[in-house]
A and B are shown apart, each in its own frame.
Chain A
Amino acid sequence: MSQEKIITVKNLTKTFGSFTAVNSISFEVNKGEIFGFLGANGAGKTTAMKMLIGISKPTSGEALVAGFDIKMQSEMVKKSIGYMSQKFSMYDDLTIKENITFFGGIYGLSRIQIKQKTVELIRELGLEEVADKLVGALPLGWKQKLSFSVALLHEPKIVFLDEPTGGVDPITRRQFWEMIYAEANKGTTIFVTTHYMDEAEYCDRVSIMVEGKIEALDSPKNLKKQFDVASMNDVFLKLARNIE
């Protein structure tokens, strides 16, 4: 793997009043890496992620995402990344094709590009027969696969996935990760959060946040060795339990 840094975070901090949600975190993500960003509910993951995608200003500290400063160049950050979350999927009352066209427009693709991408994407996902159906009628797993593909429309350098597989059936969950692997193989960096600890095992490296700080960061293999346990689930339980 190339060691070119695509995300560099230094002492990033966010406070809300007297509450410190993110407490001086520092880490780097390599280009083409699948980076797992884990933590308990309320540990500060979402707050940190919002700063990295340029929609929330840090209280202090700095971060470079795809070469752009998140404070000074947040618009450039947004153009260089893709984002999908479990909650924000697509417009339920637009068809699959309409959603792709809409997001292609938002991402600034030309009409010709949008046309090409639409055909490609629908073929890759095997959605030919339902392309003119409303997104709302699709099963959740399909919505999430589509949503992931749409987040990649503008060929971003990094894609941020916020709990992309929550509630998705086990087979589709695997298919989703195969899509992630394939995209990472093309050189796209994947920054992903999840509550499924088996998915933590699929990441190249994993960070675990506890109460606003990154308490562990390494490959799943090394983390298991470090904490002397058999699974990432046990690593997680050990870390988060000890703090409480």
Chain B
Amino acid sequence: MSIIVQNISKSYNNIKAVEDISFTVEEGELFGLIGPDGAGKSTIFRILTTLLLANEGTVSVAGFDVVKEYKSIRNAVGYMPGKFSLYQDLSVEENLTFFATIFGTTIEENYDLIKEIYVQIEPFKKRRAGALSGGMKQKLALCCALIHKPKVLFLDEPTTGVDPVSRKEFWEMLKRLQQKGITILVSTPYMDEAALCDRIALIQKGKILKIDSPKNIISNYDKTIYDIRAKNMHQLILDLKQYPSQYSVFAFGEYIHYIDKKADFNSEELLDYLQNKKHSEIEIHISNPTIEDVFMDLTAIQQ
């Protein structure tokens, strides 16, 4: 096991940020912490990277205890925090050299690992880090986190606020790093990225709702979701919410995802109801659940 987290809790002034969380990450695994802002993801990252002490519980990373052997962990892991934390006044090259030196290595020694990412920012190596675009900052931060060839890579919300194209490229990059044997723990609020991880933990309000592979989470989901649409989507949401046996109604891209309470749900009856409400261009058909559907259902149950 590369990461073993056992029953950790952390509170800030009586507010529980993380409550009795346990999970393990295998060597070479790409593991995702999936949850919105305030779920406790960053607190977990800070505990695992030895920057914060948990109130309770034990953690080991790369075989070392986070409390007793924190120095060994710091040498063995790379950490990219959610907030850009490099030196804004140093150039691209200077930042990278700085981090290499801190870890007692050189850019040349581990160049293979970062090469593919670094060539994309190399044309700007003399530019101050503060003057880089968002996407380039992110690539530089990843290079700096990798320069000492860590066993475990921690990436806290690397794609938040990043456009879909850059997000896709970033994940392709992660997959290639994983193939080089690096264990990766990554967090994201984008549910569509969950599908790209080997296993995920769904987190909300400091608690883990579920841990499994994305595939299993979806195949174990036992409710039937219907895709529904009509000409006036706003009115459709309002009317579906008034339907007596509705369980949940959520806008979902071009459709509304509808779940009914009744086991013997008949979509013809719902169609009649919507036609009586003067809807036109109505479509109703069974949909494939996504991680986001499962997450919303789990959090709705919790609330």
Contact = CB atoms under 8 A, between A and B. Distances in A.
Contact of A220 (B167, B191, B254): B254
Interface string A183-217: 01100000000011110011000000000000000
Given A42-B133, A167-B189, A201-B254, A195 B164 contact: yes
- For this complex, into which size category does the number of interface residues on chain A fall? 35 or more
A32 to B, nearest CB: 12
Nearest to A172: B36
B207 to A, nearest CB: 13
Given A40-B166, A41-B133, A170 B254 contact: no
A231 interface: yes
A218 interface: no
Contacts of A185: 234
Interface in B100-154: 133-135
Nearest to A177: B251
Interface stretch (B23-31, B65-73, B294-302): B294-302
Contacts of B37: 139-141, 167-169
B218 to A, nearest CB: 15
Contacts of A140: 36-38
Contact of A169 (B160, B167, B237, B299): B299
Interface of A: 39-43, 86, 139-141, 163, 166-172, 174, 177-178, 181-182, 184-185, 195-198, 201-202, 220-221, 231-233, 236-237, 240-241
A235 to B, nearest CB: 10
B162 A202 contact: no
Nearest to A221: B254
A167 B190 CA distance: 8
B168 A41 contact: no
A168 B160 CA distance: 11
Contact of B162 (A182, A195, A241): A195
6 nearest A-B pairs in the assembled complex, by CB-CB distance: A169-B36, A181-B234, A198-B253, A167-B37, A40-B163, A140-B37
Given A177-B251, A201-B253, A231-B253, A170 B295 contact: yes
Given A141-B36, A167-B36, A170-B191, A41 B234 contact: no
Interface-central residue, B35, B160, B251, by most chain A CB under 10 Å: B251
B interface, over-half SS: mixed
A174 B251 contact: yes
Contacts of B296: 170-171, 174
B233 to A, nearest CB: 7
A198 B299 contact: no
Given A41-B134, A41-B135, A185-B234, A236 B38 contact: no
Nearest to A39: B163
A232 B253 contact: yes
Interface-central residue, A167, A232, A241, by most chain B CB under 10 Å: A167
A26 to B, nearest CB: 23
B164 A41 contact: no
Contacts of A197: 164, 253
25 contacts: A40-B163, A40-B165, A43-B163, A139-B37, A140-B36, A166-B189, A167-B160, A167-B189, A168-B37, A169-B189, A169-B299, A170-B36, A170-B191, A170-B296, A171-B300, A181-B233, A181-B237, A184-B234, A195-B167, A198-B253, A201-B254, A202-B251, A236-B165, A240-B163, A241-B165
B204 interface: yes
